[in-house]
Structure formats: C-alpha cells, structure tokens
Amino acid sequence: MQSKIHSHRHQFRRIKEILEQHRQFLITTHIHPDGDCMASVLLFASILDHLKKPYRILLDDDLPKKFDFLPGIRRIHRFDPQAVYEKPDVVVILDLSSMDRLGAVQRIIPPGSKIIQMDHHPNDQGLGHVSVLDDRESSTTELVYLFMLYCDLPITRDAATLVYTGIVCDTGRFLFPNTTSQSLKICSEMIQKGASPETIARRLYFRSSQNTLRALAKALSTVEFHLDGRVSCMHLNKDEFNHNEKIDTEGFIDSLLAVDGTEVEVFMLKIKPRLYKVSFRSKEKVDVNEVAQCFGGGGHSRASGCQIEGSVEEVKETILRTLSERMP
C-alpha cells in the first residue's frame, strides 16, 4: 500500500496543495453513473468536507436507485441547463478518460479552471493540470482512498462504506481480473472500519423493481449466439416499457456470463432512435476495451462499452464483424 502511495506522491502533493490554496470546487464524473464513479465522487467530497471547502457535485444524468443508500448521496445533483452556477476555481473529474463523457456539465467549466483528474482506465492521456492515472488499481475509488491515506485523513464508517462499494462494483463482485490482493486487503480493512458487506450487497444486487425484472425477461428473450457459439448477445428497447419508474439495466449483461462456451457477451440497449448503448464483457481471451475503442468508447479489457448508430441488426452486424477479427 505504501509503495502505491509513494509512486503517486508527486501528484498527491500537488493535489493537496491545490485543495488547500483554493476555495470553490466542482466535482463531477461520467454519464451513465456506476458504483465506482458514485463512490469516488462522494469519497472525494468527504475530503473537502474535512478541509471545510465549499463544493458542488453535478452529474448530467439521473442516479440509479440502487445507490440511494450511499452516505451523502443527496449531495449529488442533476445538472440543470437553465440554472446559473457559480464558477469553480477547481474542477475535480473522477473515473473519466474523455471530456465528452461529462455530458453537458463540461459547458460550465470555465477556461483557466484548474482540473484535478483521477482515473484507472487504460490508455488515458490525462485531462487535468494534475492527473493521477493508474490502470493497475481496481477502481478510481481505490485511488481516492490512497490519496486519503496520503493526507492522513480518518476513515469513518461512511468512508469505509464508500470505499468497499466502489471496489466491489468495479471488480464485478471480485470476479474481474482487476481484483488484486491490495483491493481485497483494503476491503477487509473497510469491514473493520464499519462497512457491512451484507448490507451493501443486498442494496446493490438483491433488490429490483417489477419493471426491471420484466425488462430483463424481455432482453433475455432476444438472446442469440454467434461465431460458433463464442459470442452471446441480446438487446432491449426501453421505450417498450412506458412507465414512470426508471429501469436499471446495468447488470443485465452479467446474465450472459453464466453461459458455458462463450467468450464475449454483448448487450445492446436502445437509448434513442437508431442509437444503441453497447456493453461488452469478456471472459479470458478478447480485449473488449480495444473493441469498444473502435467505436469511440472504452473501459477495461474484460468490461467496456460504447455507443453505435443504426438499427439493431445493423449494430449487431457491425459488432460481430469487429469481434470476428479479434476472436482467437
């Protein structure tokens, strides 16, 4: 742990200086929020709380209901294009490798603002005045936690809950290859600090609305297998479910991982006419980060995503053609 902190000591020192020298902060992260970005944002906010620095947390997206148990979640606000926001001195961007994924929030970042970036995605070129980038870490939350240790800040029960949640989400419940001995050690320490694995798992993975369950059943009814059974794919049009309650589709693709003999899983979610949000998972041999990058997306070698235009058949054909060039 100390060696990891030491490897980032120069960037950590600069970030600490910026936090101490400036007053007004904006914290933000990517659209389609997941557990890691939620936890890392709230964890960084707790650092500013400790320093008694004013800040605002803005996202250009709704928050999935399953994260409503996270300490401080009500501090995160949906970006309002009609609102007038105070200009920040410093913008903290977490779990993000491309400014495009900020959505409309990027409009209110004034020229000349100092930008602090922390991210663990591969192939990141750096977006900030100070960027802490390390794809060896399990999650961005883990990077923020290391910065807290560098600053010698106390790890409260709430902070422990955030750290554990961020790591468990981005390691796919400790299934993905970014699960390291360090991340498991940190989670063990967070339990000692008061994080409850049972409560966190139950809130994240074992509660679902009736509409979400119906949507999963609809998606599973579209499952197809391609490239000699090595690729499984399914799709869903959320417009078919005309309800006020938002459907949480984040874990749908995991249903395909249980199928024996497949190497790559694909989930295509229609979000606009002729526009699909595509999620990829890989078991061992295919780097789906490279696949997603072909379409302007990205992520990790075993879990990534992008957006592709076209009808469902056109999108599927495009994906299969790209995968066929990379299958072992």
Q: What is the CATH number of the domain that holds 277?
A: 3.10.310.30
Q: 174 and 248 share a domain?
A: no
For the cut 70, the answer to whether the pLDDT of residue 97 exceeds it is: yes
In this predicted structure, the answer to whether residue 167 has a pLDDT above a threshold of 60 is yes
Q: 53 and 73, same structural domain? A: yes
At residue 171, the pLDDT reads: 93
**56 and 165 both lie in a single domain:** yes
Whether the pLDDT of residue 192 is over 90: the answer is yes
Q: What is the per-residue pLDDT across 268-320, written as a single tens digit (0 to 9) for each?
A: 999 999 999 999 999 989 999 999 999 999 888 899 999 999 999 999 999 99
**End of a domain among 205, 225, 252?**
205
Do 154 and 234 have their domain in common?
Answer: no
Task: Answer yes or no: is pLDDT of 244 > 60.
Answer: no
Please count the structural domains in the chain: 2
Residue 321 pLDDT greater than 80, yes or no: yes
Residue 234's pLDDT band (boundaries 50, 70, 90)?
very high
Q: 222 and 185, same structural domain?
A: no
- 140/226 same-domain check: no
Average pLDDT over every residue of 193-217: 93
pLDDT of residue 135: 87
Q: Are 303 and 248 part of one and the same domain?
A: yes
Report which of residues 62 and 247 the model is more confident about: 62
- Which of 4-18, 30-44, 106-120, 230-244 bottoms out in mean pLDDT, i.e. has the lowest? 230-244
| CATH code at position 104 | 3.90.1640.10
Residue 235 confidence (pLDDT) above 90:
yes
Q: Of 182, 205, 228, which residue is a domain's last?
A: 205
Whole-angstrom CA distances from 312 to 197, 234, 236, 269, 293 are 39, 10, 9, 9, 19
* Same-domain check for residues 134 and 264: no
In whole numbers, what is the pLDDT of the chain averaged over residues? Answer: 93
Position 101 pLDDT exceeds 70: yes
What local confidence, expressed as pLDDT, does residue 251 receive?
Answer: 87
Does 157 share its domain with 279? no
Q: Tell me, yes or no, whether 93 and 18 share the same domain.
A: yes
Structural domain of 215: 210-324
3-class SS letters over the chain: CHHHHHHCHHHHHHHHHHHHHCCCEEEECCCCCCHHHHHHHHHHHHHHHHCCCCEEEEECCCCCHHHCCCCCHHHEEECCCCCCCCCCCEEEEECCCCHHHHHHHHHHCCCCCEEEEEECCCCCCCCCCEEEECCCCCCHHHHHHHHHHHCCCCCCHHHHHHHHHHHHHHCCCCCCCCCCHHHHHHHHHHHHCCCCHHHHHHHHHCCCCHHHHHHHHHHHCCCEEECCCCEEEEEEEHHHCCCCCCCCCCCHHHHHHHCCCCCEEEEEEEEECCEEEEEEEECCCCCHHHHHHCCCCEECCCEEEEEEECCHHHHHHHHHHHHHCCCC
Whether residue 245 is found in the same domain as residue 157: no
pLDDT the model gives residue 245:
64
pLDDT over 70 at 124, yes or no = no
195 and 94 within one domain: yes
Is the pLDDT score of 80 beyond 70?
yes
Residues 6 or more apart whose Cβ sits within 8 Å of residue 120: 95, 133, 134, 135, 136, 137, 138, 139, 140, 142, 143, 170, 178
Its pTM stands at 0.90
Is the model more confident about 122 or about 286?
286
Instruction: Determine the pLDDT at residue 242.
Output: 60
How does residue 197 score in pLDDT terms, banded at 50, 70 and 90? very high
Domain final residue pick, 169, 188, 205: 205
